[in-house]
Amino acid sequence: MTSPTRDSTTDRPLAELFTLIGRRWTLRILWELRERTLSFNDLRRAVGGMSQSVLVTRLTELFGAGLVADVAGGYRLTPDGESLAREIGHLDAWAARWATDR
């Protein structure tokens, strides 16, 4: 499989994933698409503050990783993207507990 993270220097899947979702705006795109299909402009508005060129770049990376699909009416998560979004939800809950406990 070709790496969706062209600047990654590891063959560790978790590190590859964290490199991908750690890029600015990527996690937010996944989060906004977790429950609905959005057009390009609606996604850009939902994320807020992102340039059009960065959104195109991030969507291209997410397509390459098999996490987002271009469908009639906009963009949606693939089954792998939906699965990742559920796991991100678990991490979000963990982070909230961690932040409170600190």
In a domain, 1, yes or no: no
In a domain, 2, yes or no: no
Q: How confident is the model at residue 102 (pLDDT cuts 50, 70, 90)?
A: confident
Q: What pLDDT is attached to residue 10?
A: 66
Determine the Cα–Cα distance for residues 19 and 14; give it in Å rounded to an integer: 8
In a domain, 3, yes or no: no
Q: How many CB atoms within 10 Å of residue 12?
A: 10
Q: How confident is the model at residue 80 (pLDDT cuts 50, 70, 90)?
A: very high
SS3 sequence of 42-55: HHHHHHCCCCHHHH
**pLDDT beyond 50 at 1:** no
User: How far from 66 is each of 6, 94, 95, CA to CA, in Å?
Assistant: 15, 26, 26
CATH number of the domain to which 65 belongs: 1.10.10.10
In a domain, 7, yes or no: no
Give me the domain span that covers residue 76: 13-101
Q: How many domains does the chain have?
A: 1
In a domain, 5, yes or no: no
Q: What pLDDT is attached to residue 7?
A: 56
In a domain, 6, yes or no: no
- Which pLDDT tens digit goes with each residue over 15-70? 999 999 999 999 999 999 999 999 999 999 999 989 999 999 999 999 999 999 99
Q: What pLDDT is attached to residue 15?
A: 92
Q: What pLDDT is attached to residue 11?
A: 78
In a domain, 26, yes or no: yes
